[in-house]
Amino acid sequence: MILKKLAIRILLTAVITSCVDDKKDLQLVKDKPNVILIYADDLGRGLLSVEGQQIIKTPNIDKLASEGMRFENAYGAMFCAPARASLITGYHDAHGDRWKITRAGLYSQISTNKLTQEEIESKLIDKTGPIPEDEIFLAQVLKKSGYTTGEIGKLEWGFSTSNRDMKRHGWDYYYGFLDHARCHGFYPPFLFENGNIKNIEGNTRIDCGKSVERETEETYNKRWDMEGKVQYSQNIFLDKILDFIEKNKEKPFFLYHPTQLPHGPVSIPKVDDEFINDNRLTQIEKEYASMVKMLDDHVGVIMEKLKQLGIDDNTIVIFTSDNGHEIYYTQEGRVMKPVRNMQTGEFFDNINTKYYSDLGGDVFNGNDGMAGLKRTNWEGGVRVPLIVRWPEKIKGGVTSNRLVANYDLMTTLADLVDFTLPKTKDGISYLSELLGEKDKSHDYVVYASFLGPALVTKQGWKLRYFAKDDIFQLYYLPEDYKEQNNVLDQNKEKAEELKKILIDECNGDLSNGWFRVKRDVI
């Protein structure tokens, strides 16, 4: 294993300088694999046909899995902002002191002339403070290793970010949103390109065309009122992605695409032909299915572009999601939000009763039969799809049972390019796993939630904390995929062992893993 890994590193890691005089060194730079990270938004595992989805077909993402490696035990975070922060920083989200996340909504005030871009930037920087000089972010790992870096799509992290942060994080180029609230609409009147406002012709809605979630005749009519909604953001992003790939085809690049899809409220330019006559679905479910289908279609377009340029074999494509499934197609008598048992009308207490697709009325079974949804510490809230394709290096059609987390990606890419990270990072590289070798893996992963923190071990033990009632529960996932059997009373020593670890990972305070309103208010 060591010799194989060393050989790959020799190929991939030449010393990069601003001027490369030696032709051999130049060739080594060119031979480094490109990296494309496609970060889906609220895409539960069960929405992919490779994971068993019965209604929506996702052939392009399925093909990534058949030609690459699919991870069975991959964990994100419980909702958008901490997932992105973990990804970008390489820390898990239960520490309580690794970053500050500001509230969303500021950038909408540009449209109302209440604040200028400069004033918003100043407010954000004032709240987040200086960034430590020795801190390293995901894009920097690749940038410092000779890569051109680009971020296109939903904002990189947090609920609002600034041009200062984007540059400091290592992006040579970025295009998209800088505010989480505006991302909930798909027809923005403006976006940002390297700190500059780019007005989108034909889009005039201050709310970016955001729709209302609960389906009624009135909300349907409002959703399909297309006045001021001309250019769909995801189509704009796809054009920018293809342009970025084209411009950087001759040199190694890292492209991060945090897509809005299929995050709601539901919005799509047209219902996909595949669902128009599908009698299993309501109208809004057809539209939601079309959002998932568009995500898959765009993956296919990106892969075709790589093949056309002849760089397909030398590009690592990583597909994953930030958190588990969420319901955006609520309709009276069908499925409701906040979620409840549609058979009894009762809400779930998240101790003795919990959400399952069949109880909640989810026709798609988006959480793949697991308990819970986004924002919770049940498996359905945090377990995510993870697929990595790298021709000639990763054996196709392989499923890995290795325990991995979203904060492992930085460490894995650092391993790829032989970049030394600070020892404070929480991630463990899974590069060896991708190459068919066995190496050190996590003993456990940890994550926060609105219910409380949780910990999962590589043996499959899961300790979850329900903060509201100060209750611990223990599950053994290899025999209890749906988390139906709390076995704490039969395994008290194991529970105490894991409790000590969880408290330590939360820096001694379990409330660090309990997301209440812990964002700075600005």
pLDDT digits (tens, 9 = 90+) for 57-84: 999 999 999 999 999 999 999 999 999 9
Domain that holds residue 353: 32-443
Nearest to 328 by CA among 42, 124, 99: 42
Q: What is residue 516's predicted lDDT score, i.e. its pLDDT? A: 58
Q: What's the pLDDT at 23? A: 41
3-class state of residue 159 by DSSP: coil
Is 501 part of a structural domain of the chain? no
pLDDT at 334 over 90: yes
Q: What is the pLDDT of residue 31?
A: 72
CATH number of 157's domain? 3.40.720.10
* 152 falls within a domain: yes
- In the predicted model, is pLDDT for residue 341 greater than 60? yes
Tell me, yes or no, whether 156 lies in a domain: yes
What mean pLDDT, rounded, does the chain reach?
92
- pTM of the predicted model as reported, rounded to 2 decimal places: 0.94
**Residue 473 domain-assigned?**
no
pLDDT score of 207 more than 50: yes
Rounded Cα–Cα distance for residues 387 and 395 (Å): 12
pLDDT tens across 21-67, in order?
444 443 444 579 999 999 999 999 999 999 999 999 999 999 999 99
Give 10's pLDDT tier (boundaries 50, 70, 90).
very low
- What domain count does the chain have? 1
In a domain, 449, yes or no: no
Model pLDDT, residue 102: 79
| Residues 6+ away with beta carbon under 8 Å from 153 | 39, 176, 177, 237, 256, 257, 258, 259, 260
Please state whether the peptide bond connecting residue 391 to the residue before it is cis, i.e. omega within 30 degrees of 0. Answer: no
pLDDT tens-place string over residues 372-421: 999 999 999 999 999 999 998 999 999 999 999 999 999 999 999 999 99
How far does Cα 52 stand from its chain's mean position?
20
* Tens-place pLDDT, residues 397-411: 999 999 999 999 999
Q: Please write the tens of the pLDDT for every residue from 226-258.
A: 999 999 999 999 999 999 999 999 999 999 999
506 is a domain residue: no
* pLDDT value of position 30: 52
27 in a structural domain: no
19 part of a folded domain: no
Q: Could you give the angle at which helices 283-308 and 59-66 cross, rounded to 10 degrees?
A: 50
Please tell me the predicted confidence (pLDDT) of residue 520. 39
